[in-house]
Amino acid sequence: FSDLAWAALQRVENVDAGGFRIGRAAISIPEGQEGLLWAMILSLVGVGVVALAIGWAYRRVARRRLPGVVTLAIWVGGNAWVWSVLGELPRAVDILGLLLLPLLAVAILAFGEIALVVESAMDGVRGEEYILAARAKGLREVDIRDHHAARVALLPALSKFVVSLPFVLTGLVIVEYSFSVPTQYGATLYFPGLSIVLFRALEARDFPLVVGGLLFIGIISIVARIVIDVLHAVLDPRIRYGLETESEMAL
């Protein structure tokens, strides 16, 4: 606290960029039941990262992958423990139950198209030189599929998801109405979907809310495109090596 106070008087840029920005972000988080929803999201993401880290450490030590069922059990058990510590486990289960059917509906709608994209990409990489080189080294077909072909085949699917993200965020009015996504827990929790918010704003001619919603969707899309560009370089070594070659040629 004393460091932050001193930085406020001295205008130290590094501390201001760290502590004060975190403070501004923390004070902008909504309170009450919306805060519970934020806590659930952070718990899901945080425990998921921990589960992936445990799987990575197990693979480094045991030289084999942690079964997916075990990773899922760690993720579910970790979230249940966090919510029970917070004393919000029954309410969190109710919220997840309300969101389960809409999420399944959206996932099923998108699964067929993404599966076709991945299948087409897998067919395209089967004859690549690095696949033939992996077979020549004697690698198992499962390892070739998971560690070589699938990494590149995922890129078109991720790109397709990023392109369709604005339509997913704004085009789920029927799903949200069908499963009664705008719902109440007791009489306090109310979280309509973004599609319904924009639809009602258009009906009420609340154009500032419409512009704000579209701006939010645009920011989400830009961030997703930046992330997908980074993932392209991470998942596809050819892009990474190409960038390194260009930088060496520039020097």
Q: Which residues pair with 184 in a beta bridge?
A: 190
Phi, psi of 185 (to 5 degrees): -105, 110
pLDDT tens per residue, range 72-129: 888 888 888 887 887 777 777 777 777 777 778 777 777 777 788 878 877 777 777 8
Tokens of 216: 């939010």
Nearby residues of 60 by Cβ (< 8 Å), 6 or more positions away: none
Distance, in Å, from the CA atom of 131 to the CA atom of 134, rounded to the nearest integer, reads 5
The answer to whether 155 touches 236, Cβ cutoff 8 Å, is yes
Residue 27: per-residue pLDDT: 47
- Among 59-73, 166-180, 211-225, name the one with the lowest average pLDDT: 166-180
Residue 245: per-residue pLDDT: 53
Residue 237: per-residue pLDDT: 65
DSSP string, 114-178: HHHHHHHHHHHHTTSHHHHHHHHTT--HHHHIIIIIHHHHHHHHHHHHHHHHHHHHHS-HHHHHH
Phi, psi of 188 (to 5 degrees): -120, -35
Top pLDDT among 207 and 17 is at 207
Put simply, whether the predicted model's pTM sits higher than 0.85 gets the answer no
Q: What is the mean pLDDT of residues 183-196?
A: 54
Instruction: Check whether 134 has a pLDDT greater than 70.
Output: yes
Tokens of 77: 């058990």
Nearby residues of 198 by Cβ (< 8 Å), 6 or more positions away: 170, 209, 210, 213, 214
